[in-house]
Amino acid sequence: MVESKLRRLMNLVTALLHAECPKTRDELRAGLREYYAEDDASFRRQFERDKDEIRAMGIPLITGFAPDTDPPVTGYRIDRSRYRGDLPDLTPDELAALHLANNLVRLGDAPSDDPFWRLGGRPDESEVAAVARLPGEPALRDLMDAIAERRTATFNYHGVERVVEPHRLAFRNGHWHVKGHDRTRGGERQFRVDRFESAVERGEPGGCERPQKASGVEDRPAWRYGDDEPLTARLAVDAPHVPWVLGHLGEAGVVDRLEDGSVIIEEEVCNREAFRSFVLTFLEGAEILGPRELRDDLIRWLEGMAWTT
């Protein structure tokens, strides 16, 4: 079973690479008769599946009208120049270092050896434990592709379909963010990839412009994005939490350091719900000092729960 499928796919890829112009499904079938079912419907289903699998491997299968067909019939071939593009000429030690890095920093669960087959095989057999693991969001691959080939990326976000020209991908605070020009809303926007509400649909290669220098992904905490009227919150944070807070928010917001090691920070809040959630992660280790509005909001929130038993 595995062997006959492999033989069929290998010969299909060979025929598609050999083709100088698009070959119709039936022309391809004529050359591969022994590998496909005789029954027309089964053949078509099988051929469609094979085509999808070849495409999913990244093989540049292109379609066009086959010559001398009237009415025109769709034909297929592999774009040889794209298939045989350059590969970096890596020395064995460079290949080994890259392989190690790819195993140390894992996007998603399993490192992919696939690119390494094409770079000359796996340089070593040793299994290394990952040093870093990053969430492998399903959309990442499409976004990387879109950035590299200047394609648009279309996805649903906050209930709206966005068409975005992606410029930059960044991993910050445990999440992937993409930044680019949002054609739907107009202007530069940043999106969190794990909040996409649909798969990414990629546009055509070269379908958008890329700025000379893409601006960096901003590392703003969630409460600085939002539509609430901006307020400046004063927050007292007890000593045990200070390294964590400063690691995340930086020193810029610190307005006072007290003798007991605690700090007072000021933060601009445009999303009160997100700020409340942040403050509650400290339990009684932090206190909103002001403004009154934010402090009262937190007190009301807690009172709603303190009385529910």
Partner 1 sequence: MDNLTALDRLRRLLAIIPWVAAEGGMSLEAVARRFDYPRDDLLEDIWFVVQMIGVAPFGPGDMLEARVEDDWVHIEYSHWFARPMTLRPEEVLSLLAAGQSVAEFSIGDELGPLGRALTKLSAMVEPEVRDAIDVRLGVADDELLKALQQARADRRIVEIDYYSYGRDELTTRVVEPHGLTADMGHWYLSAHCRMAGATRVFRLDRVSRYAVGDEVYPEPTSPGAGPEGFLAGDDYPEVELLLEPSVRWVITQYPHHGTEDGDGEGLRVRLPVASTAWLERLLLRLGTAATVLEAPEGLGLDLRSFAAARVLARYGG
Backbone φ, ψ for residue 275 (5° rounding): -70, -40
| 62: contact with partner 1 by CB under 8 A | no
**58 part of the interface to partner 1, by CB under 8 A:** yes
The number of residues that bind partner 1 (CB under 8 A) is 115
Contact status: 307 vs partner 1 (CB under 8 A): yes
Distances (CA, A) of 307 to 256, 279, 286, 301: 35, 20, 22, 11
Site for partner 1 in 137-176 (CB under 8 A): 140-142, 144-145, 147-149, 167-175
Dihedral (CA of 220, 291, 303, 241) sign = positive
Binding test (CB under 8 A) with partner 1, winner from 6, 21, 199, 258: 6
* Residue 40, token pair as written in the block: 């027309």
Q: How far apart are CA 239 and CA 259, in angstroms?
A: 10
Q: Does 93 bind partner 1 (CB under 8 A)?
A: yes
What is the signed CA dihedral for 20, 13, 136, 86, rounded to 10 degrees? Answer: -50
CA distance linking residue 113 with residue 106, whole number of Å: 12
Sort strands 23-24 and 153-157 into parallel, antiparallel or unpaired: unpaired
Binds partner 1 by CB under 8 A, chosen from 26, 39, 48, 94: 94
What residues between 258 and 287 interact with partner 1 by CB under 8 A?
Answer: 276-277, 280-281, 283-285, 287
Q: Please state whether beta strands 201-202 and 153-157 pair in parallel, antiparallel, or not at all (unpaired).
A: antiparallel
Q: At its nearest, how many Å lie between partner 1 and the CB of residue 235?
A: 12
DSSP 266-278: EEEES-HHHHHHH
- Smallest separation (angstroms) from partner 1 to the CB of 184: 21
Nearest-angstrom CA–CA distance, 289 and 241? 17
Site for partner 1 (CB under 8 A): which residue of 21, 57, 62, 258? 57
Q: Which stretch binds partner 1 (CB under 8 A): 14-22, 36-44, 65-73, 152-160?
A: 14-22
Asked whether the beta carbons of 51 and 78 are under 8 A apart, the reply is no
Residue 297: phi and psi, rounded to 5, are: -60, -40
Is 271 within 8 Å of 226 (Cβ atoms)?
yes
In the list 131, 160, 199, 258, the residue contacting partner 1 (rule: CB under 8 A) is 131
Interacting residue with partner 1 among 163, 231, 242, 254 (CB under 8 A): 242
The CB density around residue 226, as the number of other CB atoms within 10 Å, is: 15
Q: Give the tokens for residue 119.
A: 């770079």
For partner 1, which is the closer residue by CB, 65 or 301?
Answer: 301
- Minimum distance of partner 1 from residue 23's CB (angstroms): 10
Pick 72 or 240: Cβ nearer partner 1: 240
Please identify, among the stretches 37-45, 111-119, 156-164, 263-271, the one whose residues bind partner 1 according to the rule CB under 8 A.
111-119
Give the nearer residue to partner 1 in terms of CB position, either 82 or 185: 82
Distance CA(24)–CA(28), nearest Å, equals 6
Restricted to residues 15-34, the positions that interact with partner 1 (CB under 8 A) are: 15, 17-18, 30-32
Smaller CB distance to partner 1: residue 87 or 255?
87
Compute the least distance from the CB of residue 137 to partner 1, in Å: 10
> Nearer to partner 1 by C-beta: 4 or 184?
4
The yes or no reply on residue 3 touching partner 1 (CB under 8 A) is: yes
Per-residue tokens: 23: 């070959």
In the complex, what is the shortest distance from the CB of residue 45 to partner 1, in angstroms, rounded to a whole number? 17
